[in-house]
Structure 1
Amino acid sequence: MARAKICGLTREADVAAAVDAGADALGFLVDVPVDSPREISPARAADLVDAVPPFVTTVLVTMPETPERAVDLVERTGVDAVQVHGDFAATDLASLVARVEARVLKTVDAANPERARRYNGIADALLVDSTDASGAGGTGRTHDWDVTADLVREVDAPVVLAGGLTAENVAEAVRTVDPFAVDVASGVESEGGVKDHTAVRQFVSRAAHPEDPHEVSQV
């Protein structure tokens, strides 16, 4: 089984649907240098985070230029964890880890697993995604899951699998990679920034029960 993170939430109704579906973590996209229908302001993120019940992890997803900017956003949004995208030096990541109480996840490009290893032992978890030229994720593209499966076996940090996941392929992805968790944004949307609640339920259920066809048919 794998834990499930529903990312790119912008509406209270979608937050509630993800919680009801049993999602383990919810992601809120703030301060990124790319055009995304999922980006919200720090104040909006703080409001949505306040609506999340205990025992569901809230995650700030951001692409900060400096550790100081990331610290500021963590404090303003009140999240449990921060997911850092972009070309962040290992020393900067270590500085961020030392300065926030939130857990720190580092996103790494699936096409360059060697870079993931430099953050192993620093980040609390590694999120492997299909990134674009800017280093941002959320491309909606899958990658070579076998390569990520090798990374899962080689690093100590928990690995979160992202990139092109949907309710239709997440069970196969979990069986292939055996990640700690899976992450989805556009793969469970009816339109940009708006979640399809049925797809969210299916995604969470199939991530948790990838070997159980009866569970899949019942969602």
Structure 2
Amino acid sequence: MRVKFCGTASIADMRCAVDAGCDAMGFVMGVTHQSSDVVTPAETAEMVRQLPPFIEPVAVTHLQGTEDLIRLVKDSHCTTLQIQDTVDPPEMDVIRDALPYLKIVKAVHVMDESAIQTGKRYERYADALILDTRTREKIGGTGVPHDWNISAKIVATTAIPVILAGGLTPENVTEAIRKVRPYGVDVHTGVKKDGVRNPEKTLAFAREARNALKNE
């Protein structure tokens, strides 16, 4: 089970995720809604420079303009782009043409059954989908789980990898993985303590995620 820790805002956050054996690390930039742990592309680029090999740096953003998204990836030196807000699917091909090395992950907010069709709409254009939760104020990092039954349907009917996010914690990630069967899981607020990424929670999350399917 692949594990991404999102909301990396400092070298301490980065080392915490690396020590837990993460596969990917998210950097929140270019926000238009409420969000925590926001960093600049320059700050991200400095952290990416210090990132060990074999860990994927992910630019997580609310931006929607094609040129803005391309510039964000270039300036941050990330190799994966996670688009949290709405973009026209063909625009993702424009981004891909400009940055041939880039992997694109498109967020689908699982609020009701319509998320299944939203996922299908982006399936041909994205390298993966990430199933997340949104509120009136936030389009990511809500700490709120969604209906895993819907997420499981999306995984079962989607040809590309599907990552599960939204309100995951060390305590519920095993149940979530067994229910949804995702390609990977993504956590932000669920491994925090007193507003900061916590080493014990981070290690526990990675351990629970990786062991979720071993004892079935």
TM-score interval, normalised by the smaller of the two chains = over 0.9
1:123-162 correspondence to structure 2 within 5 Å? 123-133=126-136, 136-162=139-165
Provide TM-score, normalisation by structure 2.
Answer: 0.93
Structure 2 alignment gaps of length 5 or more: none
Partner of 2:207: 205
Structure 1 alignment gaps of length 5 or more: 214-219
Partner of 1:89: 88
Relative distance call for 1:154 and 1:167 in structure 2 (3 A) is same
Q: Distance in 2 between matches of 1:121 and 1:108?
A: 14
Q: Distance in 2 between matches of 1:28 and 1:126?
A: 17
Q: Distance in 2 between matches of 1:190 and 1:137?
A: 18
1:1-219 correspondence to structure 2 within 5 Å? 2-100=1-99, 101-111=101-111, 112-133=115-136, 136-192=139-195, 194-211=196-213
Helix, strand or coil: the match of 2:59? strand
TM superposition shift of 1:134: 6.5
Relative distance call for 1:121 and 1:134 in structure 2 (3 A) is farther
Helix, strand or coil: the match of 2:96? helix
Q: Distance in 2 between matches of 1:104 and 1:191?
A: 32
TM superposition shift of 1:212: 5.1
Matched residue type, 1:187: G
Contact 2:116 2:153 (C-alpha < 8 Å) held by counterparts: no
Helix, strand or coil: the match of 1:148? helix
Matched residue type, 1:28: F
1:163-210 alpha-carbon deviations (Å, 9 max, x no partner): 000000001111111100000000001133x20110000111111111
TM superposition shift of 1:104: 0.5
TM superposition shift of 1:92: 1.5
Contact 1:167 1:188 (C-alpha < 8 Å) held by counterparts: yes
TM superposition shift of 1:133: 3.9
Structure 1: 4+ residue segments shifted above 4 A: none
Q: Distance in 2 between matches of 1:36 and 1:63?
A: 10
TM superposition shift of 1:135: 7.0
Task: Single out whichever of 16-25 and 33-42 deviates more from structure 2.
Answer: 33-42
- The percentage of aligned residue pairs carrying the same residue is 35
TM superposition shift of 1:61: 0.2
Contact 1:87 1:135 (C-alpha < 8 Å) held by counterparts: no
Q: Distance in 2 between matches of 1:24 and 1:41?
A: 22
TM superposition shift of 1:48: 1.1
Matched residue type, 1:113: I
